[in-house]
Structure formats: structure tokens, C-alpha cells
């Protein structure tokens, strides 16, 4: 009986290692969810899914893009698309508190897609997610920089702040990410 109890933790460790082996470098780690007590395990939550990752800022002139991002999220969520918004004050246009950021996103723009607490998205202090995005393409040059990631965790396209969420080029990249094989 004693040996059986030892087998259960061993299987859990092996299962965790197998899951980690399937996790693309982009999705390693966790980020705190906006105005929640929990953190998001990026690999557990998003591995194998097409992604649109956007660095956001509450008081940026591009903030109305939240509406277009939400529309894109709703349009493609049944096909597996996950939109991840990462607020940042790197360009000096984010709210001072998570509460204020949440109000802008959730109340003002009706965002339902995943939002994190504000993070660093450029430079040596950038969170791991954005360090990998920068290595694969480039660091965000301003707020609302967009990265489309396929189901294997590879960036297939990135777009400047000027590219609107309903632009044909962005939609084409999102559809390509959705069509990719896990």
C-alpha cells in the first residue's frame, strides 16, 4: 500500500514534465489577471490556441481599439481565438491603479477577453512573454501593438498601433493562426 501512494506523486510529476515539454517558450510563466486574486498560467490556459496579444494603455489615443479587439474576440472565439490584453505604462499612458485600468477596459469598453495587471513590455525589465515576442519579431513601439500567434506558439505576424482590429491584414493573420495545426 505504501508503494501505491508514492506512485501518485510520481505520476503527477511526470504529467507536469510532459505538459512543460509541450509548452512553447512564449507561454512559459504566469501573469496576474487584472483585478483578480489569481494568476494566469499562460501555458495551461493558452497552449495549442491561436492568440492575439496586445499591449494596451487606458489613456492612449488608440484605446478605442478595445471595442474592435472585443468584436474580433467575439467573432472568432468559437474557433478558439484567445485575445490577451497586457496593459503597460511603458509609454506613460496607463492608469495608476489596476482598479482604474479595469474600469476603462471592462466598464468603458465592455472587454470580456483576458486582461492582465499592468506589466513592463519593452526593455530588459519586460515580462517573459514580451521578451520572447521581441526576440521573434520586435518589441512594441507604442501602445496597442499586436502580435498574432499560431497554435504552436510561433508569432506569424505583428502589427503597429495604426493597424485597426478590423483591418484585412490582421484578420487574414488571425484566420491563418486559427487554421494552424496544434
Distance CA 68, CA 72 (A): 6
Distance CA 68, CA 89 (A): 21
Q: Identify the CATH homologous superfamily for domain 25-179.
A: Glutaredoxin (3.40.30.10)
Active site residue 23: no
**How is 117-153 classified by DSSP, letter by letter?**
SP---SSTT--HHHHHHHHHS---SSTT-EEEE-TTS
Note the pTM of the prediction, 2 decimals: 0.88
Mean of per-residue pLDDT scores for the chain: 91
Q: What percent of the chain has pLDDT over 70?
A: 88
pLDDT value at 16 more than 70: no
Query: Residue 11's pLDDT band (boundaries 50, 70, 90)?
Result: very low
Query: Residue 179's pLDDT band (boundaries 50, 70, 90)?
Result: very high
C-alpha cell of residue 46: 493558452
Distance of CA 115 to the CA centre of its chain: 8
| pLDDT tens by residue, 148-161 | 999 999 999 999 99
Query: Residue 22's pLDDT band (boundaries 50, 70, 90)?
Result: confident
What DSSP state is assigned to residue 160?
Answer: -
Give the model's pLDDT for residue 2. Answer: 52
23, 43, 60, 105: the active-site residue:
60
Amino acid at each position: 500500500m505504501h508503494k501505491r501512494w508514492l506512485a501518485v506523486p510520481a505520476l503527477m510529476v511526470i504529467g507536469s514534465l510532459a505538459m512543460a515539454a509541450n509548452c512553447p517558450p512564449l507561454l512559459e510563466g504566469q501573469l496576474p489577471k487584472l483585478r483578480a486574486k489569481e494568476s494566469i498560467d499562460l501555458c495551461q490556459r493558452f497552449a495549442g490556441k491561436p492568440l492575439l496579444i496586445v499591449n494596451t494603455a487606458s489613456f492612449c489615443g488608440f484605446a478605442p481599439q478595445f471595442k474592435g479587439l472585443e468584436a474580433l474576440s467575439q467573432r472568432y472565439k468559437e474557433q478558439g481565438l484567445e485575445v490577451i490584453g497586457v496593459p503597460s505604462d511603458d509609454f506613460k499612458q496607463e492608469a495608476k491603479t489596476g482598479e482604474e485600468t479595469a474600469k476603462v477596459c471592462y466598464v468603458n469598453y465592455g472587454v470580456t477577453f483576458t486582461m492582465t495587471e499592468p506589466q513592463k513590455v519593452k526593455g530588459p525589465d519586460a515580462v517573459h512573454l514580451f521578451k520572447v515576442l521581441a526576440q521573434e519579431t520586435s518589441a512594441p513601439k507604442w501602445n496597442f501593438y499586436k502580435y498574432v500567434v499560431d497554435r504552436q506558439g510561433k508569432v506569424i505576424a505583428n502589427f503597429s498601433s495604426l493597424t485597426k482590429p478590423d483591418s484585412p491584414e490582421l484578420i487574414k493573420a488571425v484566420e491563418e493562426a486559427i487554421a494552424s495545426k496544434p
